[in-house]
Amino acid sequence: MVEKYNHTVLIVDDEEQVGRAIARLIKRMGAEPVYVNSGRAALERLDKTGRPFSLILSDQRMPEMEGSVFLEQAKEIAPETVRFLITGYADIHVVVDAVNKGAVHRFITKPWDNNALEQMIRSGFEYHELIVESRQLFVLAKKQNKKLYHLNMELKQRADNHKKDIHQKDRKIKELKTKLTQGVKNENFISKIEAFLTKNQILSKEKIQSFHAELMIELYSQFQDLAAKSGFDMPEKSGDDPMAPDSSQANI
């Protein structure tokens, strides 16, 4: 625990002997003690320090400023610092009031056992670590939420642009399909085939006309068979009938 964090403890006590004794205990625990002899001096130290204290140990009965008053003001300056009040049983009502105001996390009664005091200080370090880690996680979560928000907005914009692009392409496909359908309906494929065959000298115009005549003969024959099966009589072939075969081209 102490290896992970470099804990610093602010000790506030007008009795230098007591303050120095607590400082020696803090050093043995691997943390750094800072001793001051009054609440005023402690507030100045909190204002000037570049690095926050992990823990404050303050005596209650001090001249000029009581420990509970000092810790209440210390809370405003260093809210992440854990605050312990050292007091006697006679001041228990003051302790209760300080705890209710949130100025004190824990109180230590006089006289104390060093082993018990060490355990309380270690628990204070652990609590401070939780406060710091929670704040760091909150800051990190806030940053991540901001990134996620911007990413979500970017993805939404891309999705909207993609949707518009698909809509435009669908519209173009429909327009092309309509043009193609209309073109197929209006196209004279027979004329184009005839022109292609003639242009490329595959068939002469006379040969193409003979194919038309043969086609008419074949169609007339098929209609005649169909009429016979259905009980109808086909009209006799005549020179004026467009369905009548041209005897002059029949053998071409």
Q: At what angle do helices 92-100 and 67-77 cross, to 10 degrees?
A: 20
Instruction: Give the bridge partners for 32, in sequence order.
Output: 8
Cβ-proximal residues to 35 (8 Å cutoff; 6+ apart), any chain: 11, 13, 16, 19, 20, 22, 23
Segment holding 251, helix H or strand E:
none
pLDDT computed for residue 90 by the predictor: 59
pLDDT computed for residue 84 by the predictor: 94
Structure tokens, 45: 């130290």
Residues 208-247: pLDDT tens digits?
Answer: 677 767 777 777 777 777 777 766 666 665 554 444 444 4
pLDDT computed for residue 56 by the predictor: 95
Confidence of residue 126 (pLDDT cuts 50, 70, 90): very high
CATH fold group of domain 8-130: Rossmann fold (3.40.50)
Domain ranges of the chain: 8-130, 201-252
Confidence of residue 204 (pLDDT cuts 50, 70, 90): low
Confidence of residue 205 (pLDDT cuts 50, 70, 90): low
Q: What is the dihedral of CA 43, 121, 81, 102, to 10 degrees?
A: -90
Up-side HSE of residue 22: CA atoms within 13 Å toward CB?
A: 31
Structure tokens, 48: 């000037």
In this predicted structure, the answer to whether residue 123 has a pLDDT above a threshold of 80 is: yes
Structure tokens, 169: 């392409």
Measured distance CA(84)–CA(10) in Å, rounded: 10
Q: What is the dihedral of CA 39, 44, 46, 51, to 10 degrees?
A: -150
Could you tell me which of 66, 79, 78, 52 has the C-alpha nearest to residue 12?
66
**Helix/strand/coil for 16:** helix
Measured distance CA(124)–CA(191) in Å, rounded: 100
CB 101 within 8 A of CB 72: yes
The angle subtended at Cα 104 by Cα 103 and Cα 105, nearest 5°, is: 130
Measured distance CA(108)–CA(121) in Å, rounded: 10
Could you tell me which of 241, 211, 240 has the C-alpha nearest to residue 223?
241
**DSSP secondary structure code for residue 6 in this structure:** -
The percent of residues above 70 in pLDDT, for the chain, comes to: 77
Residues 24-79: pLDDT tens digits?
Answer: 999 999 999 999 999 999 999 998 887 789 999 999 889 889 998 999 999 999 99
pLDDT computed for residue 235 by the predictor: 65
Residues 155-173: pLDDT tens digits?
Answer: 888 888 888 888 888 788 8
